[in-house]
Chain A
Amino acid sequence: MKEVSRSVGNLLLLFTLCFSLQSFASSDSEGEGTVSSADEVNEYILHHIKDSHDFHLFSYTNGSGERKHVGFPLPVILWSSNGLVTFMSSEFHHDDSGKVVVEKNGSKFVKLHSKIYELEAGATEVEFDEEHHAVNAARVLDFSITKSVLGILLVGLLMLWAFSSLAKQYKTKKVPTGFGRVLEPLVIYVRDEIAKPNIGEKKYRKFTGYLLTVFFFIWILNLLGLTPLGFNVTGQLAVTAALAVFTLFIYTFSGNKDYWMHMLWMPGVPVLIRPVLAVIELAGAFLIKPFSLLVRLFANISAGHIVVMSLIAIMFTLKETLTVGGATVLSLVLSFFITLIEVLVAFLQAYIFTMLSALFIGMAVAEHDHDHEHDAHGHEIPDAEDVRGDFI
């Protein structure tokens, strides 16, 4: 069923690609709104993986040669030099190259590569230097309900609805029925396979709420990114950065005395080496760990999107060498299988992010009693540090 919907998704994406490539071009005249060359494909793909201010479904060219875009605008909320400004993204008329100037509250705004810039006072249109950087406009703080924010809101509501209805089921019965029967093992999986082994039997409970939220949030958004709706939320640096910062805050503020001791003044090593180790440990805790978290998720999901779209684009780029039919079949077969892999990656990245978060939290709260726990058979139970050692 999933595969079927996925391949239907691919077909729709294909459809979208066929009819709407470069749909955000400023001009709606015939010829400019479609994509066939490799450069145009690249531009389209790079545009897609960015956030967008309107929800674009597809475009087509009508009988009189006009480009029509199907979708809906989303609200733009900006903190400009003149205070809060709101308007609908439709006022940019699908422009993404800074040509359409929107004037609100005495400020002038242009949209350039999915980012909104405020023109300097007195300027009437945006000017560019040789590297295509705007010279007389600056980025504004953009709180818009972009496509990603919409995705986050939708997934948030979906999770709230699904899991609170699961929670309600327990009030009346011991074992959930219906969709809850699918959700319950997933919750147990995160608790037993991610939270408990990494954080420990005693302390896992406090952090499981965060881990569950993050796991399902990332997983659902990853899967949503594979649908033809074209959400790329977990491929946005800002989103993965926020997630990583949450993990950073949690393990920093729940770290116990031992954790700080091991970080700042490592016991058991020569005193001279301790400051060096402290620098390394501090860099590890505050830069490397969150950075690895945010980049891993961002890069995997972005790469997935780029690969799937590139494979779909084979039918345009290899049209001449393979004929239309050959290129289409090759593109469909390849993109179908890579999409299957992406479904796996969607889960895997959610798992890895959650697992590493749990591991970092576990390291921060671990009790270093210096004699390791033993299980019933007298074998050592590996604690978080040993696990970390194995992992690295």
Chain B
Amino acid sequence: METLLNDFSPGLFIVQTILLLGLIFLLVKFAWKPILTSLNEREEGIQGALEAAEKARKEMQNLQADNDKLLKEARAEREAMLKEAREIKEKMIADSKEQAKVEGDKMLKQAQAAIESEKKAAVADIKNQVAELSVEIAEKVLKEQLADKDKQLKLVENMLGDIKLN
């Protein structure tokens, strides 16, 4: 212990203190401060670059997702439009068919009505003609038959019977 204390040199202690103080001061001013600042800046730069890259990647992903979404929407829209068109087409066809049927029915009815009325007219006409012919025949028969009284009666009888039958 005594040797150790004897070895301790106060002069060297003071010199070392002064030199170390100077060394710390100079190194901090000319070396450590700029080095640490640059290191921090560089690390922050790297951090920033990494974050920016990550952000860009996310944005790209978002963009991709947006694109996908748009594409999907477009596809769905096209699908919808096609479906609508098909429906319209079918509806039109159905409508046309319906209309045609209605029209046809109407025409058929008209035709039937016309035929009916024609038939009625024809029947009426035939009746008239038959009546006229009957009258003419009757005239002729009467002219002929009236000469014979029995025959006249018989004729009338026959005629009446015919008419009834008719």
Bound pair (A, B): yes
Interface residues of chain A, those whose CB is within 8 Å of chain B, are 50-51, 79, 113, 115, 141-144, 146, 148-149, 152-153, 156, 159-160, 163-164, 166-168, 170-171, 174-175, 184, 187-188, 191, 205, 208-210, 212-213, 217, 236-239, 241-243, 245-246
Q: List 10 A-B contacts (CB under 8 A).
A: A160-B23, A160-B31, A164-B31, A167-B31, A191-B36, A209-B36, A213-B28, A238-B16, A242-B13, A246-B20
Nearest B residue to A183, CB-CB: B35
Give 8 nearest A-B pairs by CB, closest first.
Answer: A163-B31, A170-B38, A142-B11, A209-B28, A238-B12, A238-B13, A167-B34, A242-B16
Chain A proximity of B1: nearest CB distance (Å): 11
Instruction: Say whether chain B's binding surface is mostly helix, strand, loop, or mixed.
Output: helix
Chain A residues with CB under 8 Å of B31's CB are 159-160, 163-164, 166-167
B27 touches A159 (CB 8 A): yes
Chain A residues with CB under 8 Å of B10's CB are 141-142, 238
A236 touches B35 (CB 8 A): no
A156 touches B23 (CB 8 A): yes
Among B1-54, those with CB < 8 Å from A are 4, 6-17, 19-20, 22-24, 26-28, 30-36, 38-39, 42, 45
Among B61-103, those with CB < 8 Å from A are none
B16 touches A205 (CB 8 A): no
A238 touches B8 (CB 8 A): yes
A237 touches B39 (CB 8 A): no
Chain B residues with CB under 8 Å of A142's CB are 9-12
Check A170/B35 contact, CB under 8 A, given A152-B19, A209-B24, A237-B4. Answer: yes
Contact of B11 among A141, A167, A168, A171 (CB under 8 A): A141
Chain A proximity of B58: nearest CB distance (Å): 20
Tell me the total A-B contact number using a CB cutoff of 8 A.
124
A209 touches B27 (CB 8 A): yes
B32 touches A213 (CB 8 A): yes
Chain B residues with CB under 8 Å of A238's CB are 8-13, 16
Q: CA of A205 to CA of B28 in the docked complex: distance in angstroms? A: 11
Instruction: Say whether chain A's binding surface is mostly helix, strand, loop, or mixed.
Output: helix
Chain A residues with CB under 8 Å of B14's CB are 141, 143
Other than A156-B22, A236-B12, give 13 A-B pairs with Cβ distance below 8 A. A141-B14, A152-B19, A160-B26, A160-B31, A167-B32, A168-B34, A174-B42, A184-B39, A208-B32, A238-B10, A238-B12, A242-B13, A245-B17
Check A217/B20 contact, CB under 8 A, given A115-B6, A160-B31. Answer: yes
Q: CA of A21 to CA of B143 in the docked complex: distance in angstroms? A: 195
Contact of A170 among B11, B23, B34 (CB under 8 A): B34
Chain B proximity of A228: nearest CB distance (Å): 22
Chain A proximity of B118: nearest CB distance (Å): 102
B27 touches A213 (CB 8 A): yes
B30 touches A167 (CB 8 A): yes
Chain B proximity of A86: nearest CB distance (Å): 13
Nearest A residue to B27, CB-CB: A213
Nearest A residue to B17, CB-CB: A242
